[in-house]
Amino acid sequence: MTRLTLFNKTSLILGFAFLYIPIIILVVFSFNESKLVTVWGGFSTKWYGELMSNQGIKDAAWVTIKVAFTSSTIATLLGTVAGLVMAKFGRFRGRTLFSGMIYAPMVMPEVIIGLSLLLMFVALSIDRGVMTVTLAHITFSMCYVAVVVQSRMSSYDDSINEAALDLGCTPFKTFFLITLPIILPAVISGWLLSFTLSLDDLVIASFTSGPGSTTLPMKIYSMVRLGVTPEINAVSTILVGLVALGVVAGSLIGKRQKNN
């Protein structure tokens, strides 16, 4: 077993400190009594009360959750189909173009994606709103789902399906009773990844949103431009808490399944 050297330990500590000390400071100052985020004025939870009474933030949070849930669900369905096509159908006419269209949004700058989608919606005379933001998020997040599912299918044993077909199972029933349960962890991972990407997106949503479709990242960004307040720290702390809760829950579920 390789032991960590002093240099590796120092690098590891500095790396974690660089990542997590700002988050810890943010959480601490969300409980600050003072309006000044750099001056500690005593412990208080009043900014969370102010946050709960801020209708603009609550509306933006609801739009974000609605868009993220809808887009990640549709993206998972489309991405799973695309991943199965890439993994199971081998060489076919247009495969290079098809794979290029899947990978392109993953490496293309978000500004280019947002601008191109905006021009398309304008050309089609589609009013920008929640629907256009959802379509935009489906466009780029389904690519990540396709890659995750394709990676899982690359190690899939086709003999299992062949055995089921030999025993009289239909292809449709084989997929839902055998293939889908086996690749389900990859499908769930793709859904969680696309959900996270949708929650985090700012640039593409800024191009494709309209009246009444302001997402939470857009709302926070507009508030930060006027100066950071403890209210913004409270919003960020809640988001950090939700993410941490999801990570812990996922780890516990994975450990329980491994033990079983």
**Residue 148 falls inside a structural domain:** yes
**Residue 215 falls inside a structural domain:** yes
Q: What is the pTM of this model?
A: 0.82
Whose CA is closest to 102, among 82, 81, 132?
A: 82
What's the pLDDT score for residue 250? 67
Which positions ≥6 away from 33 have C-beta within 8 Å?
41, 42, 43, 44, 46
Residue 47 Cα to chain centre, angstroms: 27
What's the pLDDT score for residue 204? 92
Residues of the chain with pLDDT below 70 are: 1-2, 90, 250, 254, 257-258, 260
Count of structural domains within the chain: 1
3-state SS of the chain is: CCCCCHHHHHHHHHHHHHHHHHHHHHHHHCCECCCCCCCCCCECCHHHHHHHCCHHHHHHHHHHHHHHHHHHHHHHHHHHHHHHHHHHCCCCCCHHHHHHHHHHHHHCCHHHHHHHHHHHHHHCCCCCCHHHHHHHHHHHHHHHHHHHHHHHHCCCCHHHHHHHHHCCCCHHHHHHHHHHHHHHHHHHHHHHHHHHHHHHCCHHHHHHCCCCCCCHHHHHHHHHCCCCCHHHHHHHHHHHHHHHHHHHHHHHHHHHHHHC
- CATH number for the domain spanning 139: value is 1.10.3720.10
Q: 85-122 as b/e, with b when 16 or more CB fall inside 10 Å?
A: bbbeeeeeeeeeeeeeebeebeeeebeebbeebbeebe
Place of tokens 């191009």: 207
**Residue 180 falls inside a structural domain:** no
**Residue 89 falls inside a structural domain:** yes
**Residue 50 falls inside a structural domain:** no
**Residue 119 falls inside a structural domain:** yes
**Residue 77 falls inside a structural domain:** yes
The answer to whether 94 touches 179, Cβ cutoff 8 Å, is: no
**Residue 144 falls inside a structural domain:** yes
What's the pLDDT score for residue 77? 93
Domain limits at 228?
58-157+185-238
* Calpha distance 101→95 (Å, rounded): 10
End-to-end CA distance of the chain: 28
Whose CA is closest to 207, among 218, 216, 196?
A: 218
Residue type, 33: E
The answer to whether 78 touches 142, Cβ cutoff 8 Å, is: yes
What's the pLDDT score for residue 168? 81
